[in-house]
Amino acid sequence: MFIVEQLDLVVEQQTPLLTAKGLSSVDKVKLVARAVRQNRGIEFLSIYKFALDSKNSTVYVLAINEEDANLMAGNSFEVAGETMPFYRVLNINLRPQQEDVYQIVNVDRIFGLLPCLV
């Protein structure tokens, strides 16, 4: 629910949404932003939207379109000694509120990054 609301996504619709999982860095969003900058260029930092789900250490990245998301999906990038794979989110479903632990847990959000974060 958090990701859907914060990134203005449509449920059950294919989107240009990516995930980066399994990161051990304290500043996961900064690490993912550095991978975006290295792969796509610094101008994409202000176009992409980022959200951190601190419950499961997943960074969600909303690309500008599906073609752009496909360029990053399925690739792994090494930044600051950490390898991070990017995965496409092809479908989004909502669980009933009583089954959704994420509606109860506090989740951090970041919509865009300032250049000083990278």
What are φ and ψ of residue 53, in 5° steps?
A: -100, 100
Domain at 90, CATH number: 3.30.70.330
Q: What is the pLDDT of residues 69-102, one digit of tens each?
A: 888 888 888 888 888 889 998 877 766 666 555 5
Residue in the structure block whose two tokens are 């975006």? 36
Whole-model pTM?
Answer: 0.74
pLDDT band at 5 (very low <50, low <70, confident <90, very high): confident
Containing structural domain, residue 86: 2-6+14-117
Q: Work out how many domains the chain is built from and give that number.
A: 1
Residue type, 18: L
End-to-end CA distance of the chain: 28
Sign of the C-alpha dihedral, residues 106, 22, 29, 7? Answer: negative
Residue 42 scores a pLDDT above 70: yes
| Closest-CA residue to 52 (of 95, 9, 108) | 108
